Chain A
Amino acid sequence: MTAHESGPLKRTPLYDVHVKAGAKMVPFGGWNMPVQYTGIVEEHRAVRTAVGLFDISHMGEFEVEGGDALPAVQRLCTNDAAPLTPGQVQYSVLCYPEGGVVDDLTVYRFDGARFMLTVNASNIDKDWDWVTRQGGGGTWRNMSADTALLAVQGPRAEALVQRLADTDVVSLRYYHFTKAKVAGVPVIVSRTGYTGEDGFELYVPAGEAARLWRALMEAGRADGIQPIGLGARDTLRLEMKFALYGNDIDQTTNPLEAGLGWVVKPAKGDFIGRAAIEALRAKGVPRKLVGFEMIERQVPRHGYRILAGGEPVGVVTSGSFSPSLERGIGMGYVRAELSAVGTELDVEIRGAAQRARVVRTPFYPSKAKKS
């Protein structure tokens, strides 16, 4: 991250559109991105109650193809990609041999021998180096610069995208994708997201991104569509307790303590990090990533200490004001014996211990289409 931030900031194909819309632009993972247009709370609520449009073109896309593609994906990723059918998506993790997290990602299966991996913006160079060195096979292509990515999220996303699509997207199931034309633009329509709402992510050729963005904004006007910046993207994902790489997971955390054991499938065969993770599983992890809410009106922030009985027991990895719950919420690693729902903890805010409680997550019920 620091290396990126010292260099010139990259721009997505929608940079001019954001500036013209009055967005406040900020550096994020080496990119100059919109953090908000009208305000984080208003944008957050638009996604929860209507529909929001996000530019997430900063994310990276790699394709791998050939007879060795599946073995490469299987060796790199903790989840089992073998049962994926063409048109299916899977959440997964790349690990180091020691069990630390290289990145979290989604894996798309086009057909028997072609996959796409969507990775975090700040990790594109590191991940590209990792998969091409460690994958051990397949023909890899880094499509990141040629591919823009828009997310359309919210209860009115389905009807909006369907009005513009030339194929049936209503019956597209959660974590499945299809090729289609939306507003005449060739896209991959993926029923995925990072908000806890129903909706789609649209992979679009970089040169067509602005046209698709304008078509969605125009067609969504009556639905109350709003452009959504990274500020609301962060509060929306936090309410779901979705991990953010660099905050909640990184090289120093493993998938088990992060609550991502459900995407680690040792039964599939060997993968990078398997032995280390299995040893951790056998021993039990000493700390866990929990979700907590503040009792008083206080806002926890990344890096604040978590206390129990006055002693430090962990650290806040993500924290914010939750626009849906109208209170401070956060995630952090605490000693495993303090991770049960209902456990009372304190968060140290400007030198004072403020009361918090471990709660069931997601913090806000997910409306993502699960069938």
Chain B
Amino acid sequence: MSNVPGDLKYTKEHEWAKIEGDRARIGITAFAQEQLGDVVFVELPKVGVKVSGMKAFGVVESVKAVSDLYAPLSGEVVEVNGELPKKPETVNSDPYGAGWMIVIKMSTPAEAAALLTAAQYEQLIAGAGH
């Protein structure tokens, strides 16, 4: 079973969000990177771009497939992981750490309540694994 840290919030599209005050750090889950396989390309927005909850904010590509990245929360991009486009394999090796993608300043922090808890996300992927 994939690693699902208890202190993060999750989406059904397999992104995670770590709430840090009025900011949220965002990436994709261990389960997501396992399903994708080798990540070879990551396209992220620039600092200053506005993202909306559950709208695409970027793209991740494995050898075989192209997948959209969905923003768990609405807000403005304040940090981008500039290392990822150069080392996309970091998404596979450390999805919750060095493989983070963006940090946003939340415009609607209340949205966080609608995200999945770790327990709910574990249940979701337990169903998807079969």
Q: Does B122 contact A (CB under 8 A)?
A: no
Say whether, besides A41-B63, A299-B61, A350-B59, A321 and B37 are in contact (CB < 8 Å).
no
A32 vs chain B, min Cβ distance (A): 16
Using Cβ atoms and an 8 Å threshold, which residues of chain A touch B121? none
Please pick, from B38, B41, B62, the residue contacting A297 in the complex, using a CB distance under 8 A. B41
Contact check, B38 vs A40: say whether CB atoms are below 8 A apart. yes
Using Cβ atoms and an 8 Å threshold, which residues of chain B touch A30? none
Using Cβ atoms and an 8 Å threshold, which residues of chain B touch A195? none
- Identify the closest chain A residue to B88 (Cβ): A297
Contact check, B64 vs A231: say whether CB atoms are below 8 A apart. yes
* Majority secondary structure of chain A interface residues (helix, strand, loop or mixed): mixed
Contact check, A298 vs B37: say whether CB atoms are below 8 A apart. no
Indicate the member of B38, B61, B86 with the most A CB atoms within 10 Å.
B38
Say whether, besides A231-B37, A297-B41, A299-B40, A321 and B85 are in contact (CB < 8 Å).
no
A326 vs chain B, min Cβ distance (A): 8
- Identify the closest chain A residue to B89 (Cβ): A41
Indicate the member of A35, A36, A299 with the most B CB atoms within 10 Å.
A299
* Interface 0/1 of A254-287, CB less than 8 Å to B: 0000000000000000000000000000000000
- Identify the closest chain B residue to A24 (Cβ): B37
Say whether, besides A321-B61, A350-B59, A301 and B66 are in contact (CB < 8 Å).
yes
- Identify the closest chain A residue to B86 (Cβ): A297
Q: In the bound complex, what is the Cα–Cα distance between A246 and B66 (angstroms)?
A: 20
Using Cβ atoms and an 8 Å threshold, which residues of chain A touch B43? 350
Say whether, besides A40-B38, A41-B38, A321 and B63 are in contact (CB < 8 Å).
yes
Q: In the bound complex, what is the Cα–Cα distance between A235 and B85 (angstroms)?
A: 21
Contact check, B63 vs A235: say whether CB atoms are below 8 A apart. yes
A46 vs chain B, min Cβ distance (A): 13
Contact check, A40 vs B41: say whether CB atoms are below 8 A apart. no
Using Cβ atoms and an 8 Å threshold, which residues of chain A touch B63? 40-41, 231, 235, 320-321, 323
Say whether, besides A297-B85, A350-B59, A321 and B40 are in contact (CB < 8 Å).
yes
Q: In the bound complex, what is the Cα–Cα distance between A149 and B60 (angstroms)?
A: 35
Residue numbers of B with Cβ under 8 A of A are 37-38, 40-41, 43, 59, 61-64, 66, 85-86
Shortest beta-carbon contacts, A-B, top 3: A321-B40, A40-B63, A41-B38
